[in-house]
Amino acid sequence: MTAHAATAARVRTGGPGGDGPELLEHVMGWALVVVIAMFVTQLGLL
């Protein structure tokens, strides 16, 4: 089995890849950070 055949036989598992809406993921990640920061300050943990 060659290296190319072994790579082609692998199944995609949904991990990080070059496809998908990267900008949307970036914005949603920062929105989550802001929401967590708001909860922390409201609970007086900071």
Instruction: Grade residue 22 by pLDDT with cuts at 50, 70 and 90.
Output: confident
Q: Name the more confident of 15 and 40.
A: 40
Per the domain annotation, does 14 fall within a domain?
no
pTM: 0.53
Q: 41: which 2 tokens? A: 């300050």
Instruction: Grade residue 45 by pLDDT with cuts at 50, 70 and 90.
Output: confident
Look at the chain and report how many structural domains it folds into.
Answer: 1
Per the domain annotation, does 11 fall within a domain?
no
Residue span of the structural domain in which 33 resides: 22-46
Per the domain annotation, does 4 fall within a domain?
no
40 close to 46: Cβ distance less than 8 angstroms: yes
One-letter amino acid at 1 equals M
Mean pLDDT lowest among 3-12, 13-22, 26-35: 3-12
Q: How far is CA 26 from the centre of its chain?
A: 8
Whether the per-residue pLDDT at 29 is higher than 90: the answer is yes
- Find the DSSP H helices in 1-46: 3-8, 22-43
Per the domain annotation, does 10 fall within a domain?
no
Per the domain annotation, does 8 fall within a domain?
no
